[in-house]
A and B are shown apart, each in its own frame.
Chain A
Amino acid sequence: MSDLDPTEVVASFDSASVLHAATVAALNGQPFPNLGSSALAGLGVRAAARLPWSVLRGVYTRIGASEGINPKRLGDVNLSAVAASFADRYPERRYPAVLLGSSNGALIHLSAAMQVPWLPDTVLVPVARVGDTDRPDQALEFGRSVAPVLLDRNPDIALHHMHDQLQDVLMAERMSYFRVKWRRLPDEYAAFVQKHLAPGGTVVVINDNSTWPVTRVGPRHVFQAGGRGGTQPEEYLARPHTPAPDEEAAESEWGLDPNFRDDVGTWCDQHGYRYVEIGYVGPQAPAAAVATIMREWYRARGEPANRLVVPCFILGDPWLTICTAAVPFWIHFAVQPALQALQEYLGKAEPYRDVNVFLFEHGTSSPGIATPQDFRSVVHRHGAAANFDGLDAERFPHDIGTLGRYGRVFDQLPRARHPWSPLPVNEALSGLSAAGLSVTTSC
């Protein structure tokens, strides 16, 4: 049997694939409505959102689950082809930098401002499986039984099988989350850098040092109970039928495989590329630094920069954020730790006049969720007007129509007053460093 189409191997709703697609759109100078899907799909989502949740829940689950790969075909998953498909989607030109590594919604806004590409280290391969979401032990055994062919076929990856019955309950009913991480620089990424990095350009590794307790299943296979959001690892681990962890590993969605970082560093050394590493712990960490850099960049050219936008998880539009000179403060999920980070940022930043909040709704009132009312309170406390255009707060967290509405909200924001040129890479890196992120360089 032939390999699966690489564009159908990775989940279209995942942070890596959507944030990558948003970056591609920004480098093409294009808005990013409907999470990159067609206008027709957006219309369908808006129409479906009118259904009562009792009906919509089943539709949502089944549509999401339709992406799940038949486990019998995991041997036909060629992740080199996936890497090539990620690299090939960028416009053909040379760039002053190439970003590689962890997914991060804040840093892709910086990527869009610098007009440089980002290629992810981790992608989500959804695998079809109907099971009891409250039996992570059974999920682990399922992974143990089906993963070997995937790992044999792809010797350069590690599998982080994640099972989150709290935040991903709707999807977990019908699929398993196989997050795969490249342990070395894929040849396709290396070829992309060699072809597209401008002379004197910089290879930037985004290194989210997040870890999570895991159960080792095999030499390149771990099982992670739960995921980053509103619940701490120990709370997941305390739940019944949860396999006991035996080590810490890179967090499945956001964390970078340390082997990948080391390999990119070595490769850059061998090929004479300037290597820079941005290091932090947890996906929320770079948001304030990015907001600060973007605000200063806008102000330097005379923009008032008094509108904050709060994109959430995969819901955002980097290109239109820049065209409207809006300052992005990305939150990784609509959860209390992210709300806390926003509150801290607003407490330190010069006051904003308007804040547009875009909340990704995962369809369940999971522990630690932060509601529109929570965000409204925080924004008001800091003297700004809170806008939730495109979101029906009454239906939160079930208003999936917001996926088809947020694009129009971005498009209707007032445009920037002044022309702009891409943010110089060194300026962005200095800004991150000045804001307290670890930025290390080696030539």
Chain B
Amino acid sequence: MQHDVELSKEVDVARSTGLARVIVVPGLAVHKYAEPPVRHLRDNGYDARLLSPPAWRGIDHDLERYGRNLAADIEREGAPVDVLVGLSVGTQAAAVAASSTDLVKRLVLVSPTIDPAYRSMIKQSLVFVRGDPHDTSGYLSHVPDWSRAGVIRIFRGFASAIALHLEDILPKVHAAVTIIHTEYDPLTTHTYAASLAESNGARLVLMPGVSHSWPNADSARFLRFVDELVSNES
């Protein structure tokens, strides 16, 4: 399957390096904003990978399939993943992956989607149009990434995100779950993040002064967070 091949290439977990392994699933059709924090993890001794985002050409736009493919790749490789991080709609794919394999030790959901308060194409579009005054990257910086998906694939990706409910997946996850909610997130309410954490025995972490696309432009804090997570629970 074309999607599997592409995903496997990105995961590229052919052998264990002995370093703590971190896999990051980015948001829908966006990649560049997550590159610096993942690179920073690598520069500081992690075996950290940033996957191709859902909906890029050649990559599945369907988040459930994306997650199952990722789990299959992890299983095939056979080595545990110390931290699987999902960003935005990547949280849904990451949760599916973690629910499908026991090799994920910790699951971190940053800005989990899609909040029932915004669970329709119209509401998502309104939030998008309104913009995010606290997002330092801005929309224009995502255009090159979006062009690798195209409008139709992005639309399908959104439809998949709306149909896939995180609250139904999380009860099937055996990994330790951390939910990160950012102070200025315009897409996910505090209530949804707190409720997901409470009903699934997850740890709720609140990130002050940043917006939905964290850890964009905040590599040092992301590294510190992963350091603490790995050291506290190892």
Contact = CB atoms under 8 A, between A and B. Distances in A.
A212 B174 CA distance: 56
B185 to A, nearest CB: 9
A119 B221 CA distance: 37
Given A29-B189, A91-B194, A421-B205, A415 B199 contact: no
A93 B202 CA distance: 13
B133 interface: no
Contact of A419 (B193, B194, B198, B207): B207
A420 B205 CA distance: 5
B231 to A, nearest CB: 15
Contacts of A417: 208
A415 B183 contact: yes
Q: Which of A29, A94, A416 has the most CB of B within 10 A?
A: A29
A416 B199 contact: no
Contact of B199 (A27, A28, A91, A94): A94
A419 B180 contact: yes
Interface in A410-432: 415-422
Interface in B82-116: none
B176 to A, nearest CB: 14
Nearest to A324: B208
B16 interface: no
A421 B178 CA distance: 10
Interface residues of A, number: 22
Given A91-B191, A93-B195, A323 B205 contact: no
A246 interface: no
Interface in B168-198: 180-181, 183, 189-191, 193-195, 198
Contacts of B65: none
B225 interface: yes
A422 B207 CA distance: 12
Contacts of B18: none
B163 interface: no
Contact of B190 (A28, A324, A419, A420): A28
A242 interface: no
A92 interface: yes
A421 B209 contact: no
Contacts of B193: 29
A421 B206 CA distance: 6
A93 B191 contact: yes
A340 interface: no
A29 B195 CA distance: 12
Contact of B194 (A30, A93, A416, A418): A93
Interface in A17-61: 27-30
A416 B221 CA distance: 12
Interface in A169-201: 198
B203 interface: yes
Contacts of A420: 205-206, 208
Nearest to B207: A419
Given A91-B195, A323-B183, A420-B208, A29 B190 contact: yes
Contacts of B206: 29, 323, 419-421
Contacts of B208: 323-325, 415-417, 419-420
B204 interface: yes
A92 B195 CA distance: 8
A115 B183 contact: no
Given A93-B191, A421-B204, A421-B205, A29 B199 contact: no
Nearest to A323: B208
Contacts of A92: 191, 195
Given A419-B205, A419-B207, A29 B198 contact: no
Contacts of A416: 208-209
A420 B180 CA distance: 10
Contacts of B204: 115, 421-422
Interface in A389-443: 415-422
Contacts of B181: 29
Contacts of B225: 419
A420 B204 CA distance: 8
A198 B190 CA distance: 18
Contacts of A421: 203-206
A418 B225 CA distance: 9
Nearest to A92: B195
A421 B193 CA distance: 12
Nearest to B225: A419
10 contacts: A92-B191, A92-B195, A93-B194, A93-B198, A115-B194, A115-B204, A323-B209, A325-B208, A415-B209, A419-B206
> Nearest 7 A-B pairs (CB), nearest first?
A29-B190, A415-B209, A93-B195, A91-B191, A416-B208, A323-B208, A415-B208
